[in-house]
Amino acid sequence: MAAVNPYLNFDGNTEEAFNFYKSVFGGEFSVVSRFDAMPQEYQPDQSELNKIMHISLPIGPGSILMGSDRPKSYGPINKGDNAYVAIQAESEEEATKLFNGLSAGGIVTMPLEKAFWGAFFGMFNDQFGVQWMINYDYDRS
């Protein structure tokens, strides 16, 4: 069964926000990736390369708080559009089923496909305006 986690976008202060969340929840970050680690063709403006592409903080059994800085090219952050429901699927098949089902009648913002970080990933706004991310991590062992 898929796991559901909150995914938050920030306007350049993700690191500050997540250090605050860490001070409240405790624990250690499981992932901290910056935009400069992306392949060059995907990188945002030079001024944003040190910003957070992805950060994860386990906050309890089976729950992970995740986030990133929104590149300027995605437009400004507006109240209400800076959070996603992130689903961690257990297989490509489950990811495809969830993506196709939930995105029906909505707007796909990133097609479900193999991503450079070793996952099968896609994003969309459903027909009710809720933002979703679907992810399946390939075995990295």
Provide the domain limits for residue 35.
10-71
Residue 28 domain-assigned (yes or no): yes
Residues whose CB falls within 8 Å of the CB of residue 34, separated by 6 or more in sequence, listed in order: 49, 50, 51, 52, 53
- Is 86 within the bounds of a domain? no
**Mean pLDDT in residue range 14-34:** 91
| Predicted pLDDT of residue 130 | 79
Q: Is residue 124 part of a domain?
A: no
Say if residue 141's pLDDT is above 80.
no
Residue 14 lies in a domain: yes
Q: Is residue 118 part of a domain?
A: no
User: Is position 67 within any domain?
Assistant: yes
Q: What is the pairing mode between strands 131-137 and 83-88?
A: parallel
Structure confidence by residue, pLDDT tens digits, 52-92: 999 999 987 888 999 999 988 888 888 777 889 898 898 99
Q: What is the CATH number of the domain that holds 21?
A: 3.30.720
pLDDT value at position 1?
67
Residue 95 lies in a domain: no
81 falls within a domain: no
Domain count, the chain: 1
What pTM does this model have?
0.70
With beta carbons less than 8 A apart as the criterion, state whether 97 and 78 touch.
no
Model pLDDT, residue 44: 83
- CB burial class (10 A; 0-12, 13-18, 19+) of residue 17? middle
**Residue 95 clears pLDDT 90, i.e. is over it:** yes
